[in-house]
Chains A and B, each alone.
Chain A
């Protein structure tokens, strides 16, 4: 082995100095010849004779030199270089073919790289920490309302207990997420996500600071360190907000009305523990007492849940750690989860579970986007396959065009393998160019792609940037595609028959034309699947958008003021909301305004169980209703009609009154007027004190979480004092700008110390909530179109070359009296045959695709006849257009000219 390596090294040295080697060998041989000639001379030959004799005895000088060189040389390497050069030369001559192939592959590889970037960033990338596979997280997993096995963090006091007792981890740390207000460069307060880790977290993770130091246990003490609270900035936030100024270390900044000292910057590659999210700032976990106003995290009544992450001891497996947890579990749950504070089934069934945290902790984007991303990856993989098939078809036609060249090479002694390699090299040149272009496109397209992943709840959108791994994937794509599209043509090239050199150039014959033909039905089939999917998805999207949502979605601007962070609580807080609404409604351009808890189209909603009370008797039957809290003027602003009764008034601030929507009213009170009746709830999980309320109005049905779901049965309560909630303002105005201006004026006047947050229109929110759906639809449209174009191109290319090959034959036919119409039909028949085969294959492909996209369809049957017929029609007409040009060319062959060629 070592010897071989040394030999390889010598070879390499030689390769680099091959010119010198040649010179030296030459000199050495010359020396030999001269010595020999000298000897011969001494032996009495004439000088000339001596010279000849020496050469005779030496042998074939050139051949020997060549043999010496071969001993050392990378013969294969040199041949490869030759292949490359030759390939480039050939490809340069065929610019159009080359451009088409490269662009086609660039689209395929680019799309794959772009989607894979997201998948990799969200689910595959290990944390940028040493030995990330040792990292593990601990969660409670159990049933919560709305989910059979919800994953939650664990209570803070349970974590502390667990940290002391556990033996599986070298250490445990924990963290939580908080929102902080920081002034931006212009002095406007902004709200950002902050991560609040325990003091040992960075050490557990093994992250090293970019500048300064990271948080330590000394920063995370009750009441803050004696020198004041400290903070670590993320590299990105430091660059963006403070211009990357290294002087920031040791400076004080204001965070949520507290002064903290910046002590360090995290390294640029560390982007937090939640894939797809980028926290801006890290604060000690106990800073939470300042942020939330909670007095003490450690008190027995504290409901604070944290998310533990630890490093397993070397050699300890997840199973072992889980077994250890199972031992502590009953005791920990008994001690730290009180039955009156928790959902009973959860206490019964929750399990303390250790999972790998190699990729970080589960994040919002991880949960949201796995399904759609996998679907998209499948889609783009099909597209890449299609691109390969297409380029393969194009290459195949070049094999035929170059058959003479190959035959000549073959006749001159080129091996089959050499010809195959030549073709594969050319394929690789094309694939590599395509991959390069594709990677560039994916890099720049990344931001565009991310605009489809915006959280409608107003949180930060998905944040993923491509990294080095993606290049490996791209390279792999290039190699794979080379083999995929290059294999068949290469094989055909290898089968070149030198015999054709002896035959006439235009010899008629059937079999040889079939090369490349098989590609067409596959292309048609894949296009059909893509176009039909695009059709179904587009129709679904149109259906979703055009359906009645139960409110007027246009002209509404929303923003969440985060008033729950203010000192005002209870009535004072509700007064503040009311004063803002009043001030907004007085502003010019604002038609109406209201506050609400949930806004529609955020992909989330609250549900609880309710019972109808009729004549003092509570119906035994539980009904699960969606619920929301809305301020006065909500229905007017949303333009959701009130069908009976009225909406809430200013003085209604508790859950003694409610409004039902029409389907909830008719469900709870099937045969009677709902207004004036009572509804109650024992759902203590949602309403700790229970709720009994009088129905004061019935509203029109309105969609809630998503436009994709039918309007749920809904109960509305007034904004109330029990719920110290974080409400959202809704403003109806002609333009978003008017609403924003009015809001900023009102805020400056009424609550100047609150941050300014993201504004969105309800329409945007709906778009964002449909982000994945819109992206898949857009992609299927784009790729469906591309697929059609490629198929048409492929068929056109095939028929054109077939007609060109058969010019003579067609000429003879016409000369013999076959009508031009019949020739036309003959070529079109050929195209139709391919189309039919394609549609047959396509039906199978479609059956498979439809199963994948079924979940995304809305109001459209997977076998929607309109879409299917339209697809077939579109496919047929595109194919016909592609076929008609070569067919007409065939029909217009001049028999005299054709015969003269024979």
Chain B
């Protein structure tokens, strides 16, 4: 979900390093995972058809693989976000002092 959301937010095709950087920034270093585990996850998303990979030129003129969200991926993201919000709401209600 996080990857999908990042791709959605960045709004333009991004390479793996870019996604990792973005995740780190946006979560203010809270979400510190092994950066490499991004790649198996990206492969999973590609297999499901939620992201699409294309080779292109990076900002420093290197060949890099750029990922972008597909319509199916966007749909999936909406669904996941909705689910997440529902769960979050439930948790919040439980945690709220009554």
A89 within 8 A of B: no
A31 to B15, Cβ gap below 8 A? yes
Contact A31 B17 (CB under 8 A): yes
B58 within 8 A of A: yes
Specify which chain A residues have a CB less than 8 angstroms from the CB of B15 in the assembled complex.
28, 31-32
- Collect the chain B residues with CB atoms within 8 Å of residue A465's CB: none
B16 surroundings in chain A (CB, below 8 A): 28-29, 31-32
Q: Determine the distance from Cα of A36 to Cα of B24 in the docked complex, in whole angstroms.
A: 13
Which residues from chain B contact A36 at a C-beta distance below 8 Å? 17, 35
Inter-chain CA distance A70–B43, complex, in Å, is: 9
The yes or no answer to A869 lying at the interface (CB within 8 A) is no
Chain A proximity mask over B13-48: 1 for CB below 8 Å, otherwise 0: 001110010000000000000111101100110111
Q: Which of A7, A35, A57, A64 contacts B39 (CB 8 A)?
A: A64
Q: How far is the CA of A662 from the CA of B90 in the complex (A)?
A: 107
B36 adjacent to A60 (CB under 8 Å): yes
Q: Are A68 and B17 in contact (CB under 8 A)?
A: no
Q: Is the CB of B49 within 8 A of A10?
A: yes
Determine whether the beta carbon of A27 is less than 8 Å from that of B36: no
**Which listed residue, B37, B58, B62, touches A59 by the CB 8 Å rule?**
B37
Known: A67-B40, A68-B39, A72-B43. A31 touches B64 (CB 8 A): yes
Flag whether A409 is at the interface (Cβ < 8 A): no
- Whether B43 pairs with A59 at a CB distance below 8 angstroms is no
Say yes or no: A31-B62 contact (C-beta < 8 A), given A25-B39, A57-B34, A72-B43.
yes
A57→B49 CA distance, assembly (Å): 28
Tell me the smallest distance from the CB of B96 to a CB of chain A, in Å: 38
B32 smallest CB distance to A (angstroms): 9
B residues 43-81 near A (Cβ < 8 Å) are 43-44, 46-49, 55, 58, 62-65
Per the bound structure, the CA–CA distance linking A28 and B48 in Å amounts to 20
Q: Are A58 and B34 in contact (CB under 8 A)?
A: yes
Bound CA–CA A341/B47 (angstroms):
80
Q: Are B63 and A59 in contact (CB under 8 A)?
A: no
Cβ A29 vs Cβ B62 within 8 A: no
Known: A64-B40, A68-B43. A6 touches B35 (CB 8 A): no
Instruction: Tell me the bound Cα distance from A842 to B47 in angstroms.
Output: 58
A223 to chain B, nearest CB (A): 73
Kindly state the separation between the CA atoms of A28 and B58 in the bound complex, as whole angstroms: 11
What is the bound-complex CA distance between A64 and B55, given in angstroms?
21
Are B37 and A6 within 8 A (Cβ)? Answer: no
Q: A68 and B40 in contact (CB under 8 A), knowing A57-B35, A59-B35?
A: yes
B40 and A71 contact, CB distance less than 8 A: yes
Q: Which residue of B lies closest to A7 (CB)?
A: B47
Contact A6 B49 (CB under 8 A): yes
What residue of chain B has the Cβ atom nearest to residue A55's Cβ? B36
A63 closest partner in B (C-beta): B36
The answer to whether A11 touches B47, judged by C-beta atoms less than 8 angstroms apart, is yes
* Cα–Cα distance between A900 and B43 once the two chains are bound (Å): 60
With both beta carbons as reference points, the residue of chain B lying nearest to A24 in the complex is identified as B65
Check A61 for interface membership: any CB of B closer than 8 A. Answer: yes
Quick check: B35 and A31 within 8 Å, CB to CB? no
Q: Are B35 and A72 in contact (CB under 8 A)?
A: no
In the assembled complex, which residues on chain A have CB atoms less than 8 Å from the CB atom of B55? 24
> Number of B interface residues, CB 8 Å?
22
Q: Which residue from chain A places its CB closest to the CB of B59 in the assembled complex?
A: A35
Taking CB atoms and an 8 Å cut-off, the chain A residues in 338-367 that contact chain B are none
B49–A58 touching, CB < 8 Å: no
CB neighbours (8 Å) of B37 from chain A are 59, 64, 67
- Once the chains are docked, how many angstroms separate the CA of A57 from the CA of B39? 13
A32 with B35, Cβ < 8 A, contacts A27-B63, A67-B40, A68-B40 known = yes
Q: Contact at A29–B36, with CB atoms within 8 Å?
A: yes
A 32-73 binary contact with B (CB < 8 Å = 1; else 0): 101110000000000000000000011111001101101110
| A3, B49: Cα distance in complex, Å | 9
> Which B residues are CB-close (under 8 A) to A57?
34-35
B58: chain A residues at CB < 8 Å are: 31, 35
Shortest distance in angstroms between A3's beta carbon and chain B's nearest beta carbon? Answer: 8
Complex CA–CA separation, A68 to B37 (angstroms): 9
Residues of B within 8 A of A6 (CB): 49
Chain A's closest residue to B55 (CB) is A24
Most buried by A among B40, B58, B62, B64: B40
* A826 and B49 alpha carbons, distance in the complex (Å): 70
CB atoms of A10 and B47 under 8 A apart? yes
Q: How far is the CA of A7 from the CA of B43 in the complex (A)?
A: 12
Complex contact B34–A35 (CB within 8 A): no
B27 → chain A, closest Cβ, in Å?
Answer: 15
> Distance (Å) between the CB of A702 and the closest chain B CB?
83
Q: Which residue of A lies closest to B38 (CB)?
A: A32
Cβ contacts under 8 Å, A58 to chain B: 34-36
Chain A residues with Cβ below 8 Å from B43 are 68, 71-72
Residues B48 and A7 in contact, CB atoms below 8 Å apart: yes
Assembled-state Cα–Cα distance A68/B63 (Å)? 20
A-chain residues with CB within 8 Å of residue B46 when the two chains form the complex: 10
Q: What's the nearest-Cβ distance from chain A to residue B69, in Å?
A: 17
Q: Which residue of B lies closest to A29 (CB)?
A: B39
What residues of chain A lie closer than 8 Å to B36, measured between beta carbons? 29, 32, 58-61, 64
Contacts of A59 in B (CB 8 A): 34-37
How far is B47's CA from A8's CA once the two chains are assembled, in angstroms? 9
The complex places the Cα of A138 from the Cα of B32 at a distance, in Å, of 83
Q: Which residues of A contact B49 (CB under 8 A)?
A: 3, 6-7, 10
Residue of A nearest to B44 (CB): A71
List the B residue with the shortest CB-CB distance to A60. Answer: B36
Looking at the complex, which one of B44, B47, B65 makes contact with A28 (CB distance below 8 Å)? B65
| Closest CB in chain A relative to B70 CB, distance in Å | 12
Q: How far is the CB of A128 from chain B (nearest CB, A)?
A: 44
Closest CB-CB distance, A1 to chain B, in whole Å? 14
Alpha-carbon distance between A24 and B56 when the two chains are bound, in angstroms:
12
Taking each of A25, A29, A65, A71, which has the highest tally of chain B beta carbons within 10 Å of its own beta carbon? A71
A34–B63 CA distance with the chains assembled, in angstroms? 12
A426-B40 Cα distance, complex, nearest whole Å? 34
Contact present for A28 and B34 (CB under 8 Å):
no
CB closest residue in chain B, given A71: B43
Q: A31-B15, A57-B35 are in contact. Are A71 and B64 (CB under 8 A)?
A: no
Question: What are the residues of chain B within 8 A of A11 when measuring CB–CB?
Answer: 47
Measured in the bound complex, the distance between the Cα atoms of B60 and A34 in whole Å is: 11
| Contact mask for chain A residues 3-18; partner B; CB cutoff 8 A; 1 contact, 0 none | 1001100110000000
Question: Can you give 9 A-B contacts (C-beta < 8 A)?
Answer: A6-B49, A24-B55, A28-B39, A32-B20, A60-B36, A61-B36, A64-B39, A64-B40, A67-B37
- Interfacial residues, chain B to chain A (CB-CB below 8 A): 15-17, 20, 34-37, 39-40, 43-44, 46-49, 55, 58, 62-65
Nearest 7 pairs of A and B residues by beta carbon: A59-B34, A59-B36, A67-B40, A58-B36, A64-B36, A71-B43, A35-B17
Q: 15 new A-B pairs (CB below 8 Å) besides A31-B62, A72-B47?
A: A7-B48, A10-B49, A25-B39, A27-B65, A29-B39, A31-B15, A31-B64, A31-B65, A32-B15, A32-B17, A35-B58, A60-B34, A65-B39, A67-B37, A68-B43
